Chain A
Amino acid sequence: MAVIVFNAVSKGYSGKTVLHDFSLNVEDGERVTILGPSGCGKTTVLRLLAGFIEPDTGTISIDGKVVATSGKILQQPERRHVGMVFQDLALWPHLTVAGNLEFGLKAQGIPKTQRAQRIGEILKLVDMETYSRSRPAELSGGQQQRVALARALVLRPKALLMDEPLSNLDEELNKHLRQELLHLHAQLNFTLLYVTHDRSEAVEIGTRIIRMRQGRIEQIVSAKDFKAEKRGEIRAYHVD
């Protein structure tokens, strides 16, 4: 069963439509990357799914439940059980690493002993257990990246949304963290929606690639076919 369904969703700002008739099904545990240039509407897709904005038309469902429909948010972000890693990471500067992770757990009413256990587990998984008392400003770019990922995953979300999270890192660190992300996905098997403008990142992370241009889906293709298309072996399926 598809865990995420976008059905003919459109969205505009100040009279300008940035997402046109967007439809997409994402299966449980699938890794989908949304690839496209700046301003093509890919971040809007994530913000709609997270519940920060409502669609002008169309519906969005998570786990079979409609969470937003034309002009209405039916389920608030905190009830959707999706995690998000932002492009600028958005780590809370006044809280420690553990504090950043604990905030959401507290808000969800998780008891203290379980909170500590889950924080310990996830920090170990991202190799940050020795930094639990550090503030975000004291960490390197790569470490901040890991904390942002841990913060999103500690809540055990149904889906993880990532908005160009590696775009500000140097190439070597970028590649290293891609591998770490894939490793984490293999362990935790979450549904992943990953936004990027980098083709190699899209191919490496996604099992399916959605190519977007000017607010429309231009192409939906498997990573395998995408690579083959790049080599000129097959013609990809283009969406009308």
Chain B
Amino acid sequence: MSARRVTLTAALIVLALVGLAPIVVMFARSLSADGTFSFENYRHLLATGRSWQLLSNSIRLALATALISTLVGLPLALLFAKTDLPLRRVFVLLFALPLVIPPYITAVSWADTLAPHGLASQFFGEATTKKLSALLFGLPGCVLVLTTTFMPAVMLGTMTFIRTINPRLEEAARLSARPQRLLHGITIPLIRPGVLLAATLVFLLALGEFGVPAFLRYQVFAVESFTQFTVSYDFGAATAAAVPLALLTFVILGIEWFVLREKIQVLRPGTDGGDTYIVPLRSRRVWLFALVSLLCALLVITPLLSLLLQAGSAQSYVHAFRVVNDSLIRSIFLAAVGATALSVLGLFVGYLIHTRALSIWRAVDASTVLLFALPGTVIGMGLIALWNRSATNLIYATPLIIVFGYLAQYTALTGRVTVAGLTFIPASMEESAASAGASWFRRIGAIMLPLLKNALVAGWLIAYIFCLRDTGITMLVYPPGYDTLPVRIFTLMANGAPSLIAAACVLMIAATVLPLIGVALLMRTRRRRSWR
């Protein structure tokens, strides 16, 4: 067996142990009552009308979030990627900000905005604010928060797809059509599969989200599953409540794969985007800029400002840091470890998918996507079902279980980034190293890794952000004394002072954004040096 085959198989075993096996064991546990095979948990789940209500609520929330995210995200992506709108890069960063912070922090900030003496009351008066606040706690509020959080996924995804369009396709249309017709007739139809893919992802992410509905008191399956486990200590009922979400995810991904598998092939990366056609907005530039600024102020600036106002003075931050510093440091450490482990696993998984080195590459690809789309609470439940045994306490009773959770859910991210990076590297690079007599490890280490450097850094950062903001898995599996900052803030929300919670949320945002700024500055400096 070659070194390549052994290494890739080992990577798959890791993925199976941390991701797939837990889901299978969880499903098996849901079919057992008092140690024997039984459908009792499901019978109990389906006996009440509540389950159908939960399912209906879950689907309504996911559908509304996906629909509005697409309706807002698609025009924004077109404006930022295809026009000369002023400050479009700044807008991209601002609109993307909610994606990198835990969604419930956005919920907290909206709650602060609509609080009796919050920012909104100063503009709309207390009576109107009270009505708006009532709307926040329920489906409209959940949709607002999740749209703010996940809309950037549609926006960024669409922008990426726009950049993959061969510029010649648009130039061919420019010879006969005006910009508006070009966008409607060529650009939008070409990116439609990509937009649908992003919308499906948002649907699944919203379906599995538990922090926001829990905070805004909207009953969905993800919350039910968590409540059954943490409040009722009923593991069988909790896993049974998690299975409908897993099945729904599986079905949606199946439909998506069936509908989009051919169409998505049309879009292949290969252009550097350098000569992408930028539509001049001309007289529409001013009012579109005003409209986008207003939307940005409403969706991003206002809740952040409320959070800062709620946190108050510098003393609040000092106090918050004293209270949460251990969780903050642990979060950053675990996110860094998780991102590093994910980069390694993602490298091998991405390499396997790209090179089709093993015959099961398609199943591996589908598995990582399924695990990413599964609600965090479902993966958490699966990890408990598999690893909560005395023989595996070395893993379950330590923060290793959190890293396992990260590996299970987020390998799709680093794997996909690796695949994207490999697409730009000709196969001949590795082949020529092989013909020169280099072993596989040497080829990977000396040829592929340096060529993949930028993709690996990007993958690490994305993984770091997702590990840092993770709530669903960590909330369920963290060992006593090893809570992370998102978990600590979530528990503080039950009885902590609003200023303390707001300050802790700001610290959380800083922990997420500062490394991004650091890496961006570092890359800018290096780029400048290379120009010289």
Contact = CB atoms under 8 A, between A and B. Distances in A.
Contacts of A78: 174-178
B168 interface: yes
B177 A104 contact: yes
Interface string A71-103: 000001110101110111011111100000001
Contacts of B171: 50, 52, 77, 84, 86, 90
A94 B173 CA distance: 13
A31 interface: no
Given A90-B166, A92-B169, A84 B186 contact: no
Contacts of A77: 171, 174-175
B394 interface: no
A108 interface: yes
A104 B168 contact: no
B174 A108 contact: no
Interface in A38-68: 50-52
A190 to B, nearest CB: 14
Interface residues of B, number: 20
Contacts of B174: 50-52, 76-78
Interface in B171-211: 171-178, 181, 185-186, 189-190, 192
Residue among B173, B175, B277 with the highest chain A CB neighbour number at 10 A: B175
Residue among B172, B174, B185 with the highest chain A CB neighbour number at 10 A: B172
B168 A86 contact: yes
B41 to A, nearest CB: 47
B186 A103 contact: yes
A205 interface: no
A83 B169 contact: no
A113 B221 CA distance: 56
A119 B132 CA distance: 57
A50 B275 CA distance: 14
A50 B169 CA distance: 14
B178 to A, nearest CB: 6
Nearest to B274: A13
A91 B168 CA distance: 9
Given A94-B190, A107-B185, A84 B178 contact: no
27 contacts: A51-B174, A52-B275, A52-B277, A77-B175, A78-B177, A84-B171, A84-B175, A86-B168, A86-B171, A86-B172, A88-B168, A90-B166, A90-B171, A92-B186, A93-B266, A94-B189, A94-B190, A95-B189, A103-B173, A106-B181, A106-B185, A107-B176, A107-B177, A107-B181, A151-B172, A152-B175, A155-B175
Interface of B: 166, 168-169, 171-178, 181, 185-186, 189-190, 192, 266, 275, 277
Interface of A: 50-52, 76-78, 80, 82-84, 86-88, 90-95, 103-108, 151-152, 155
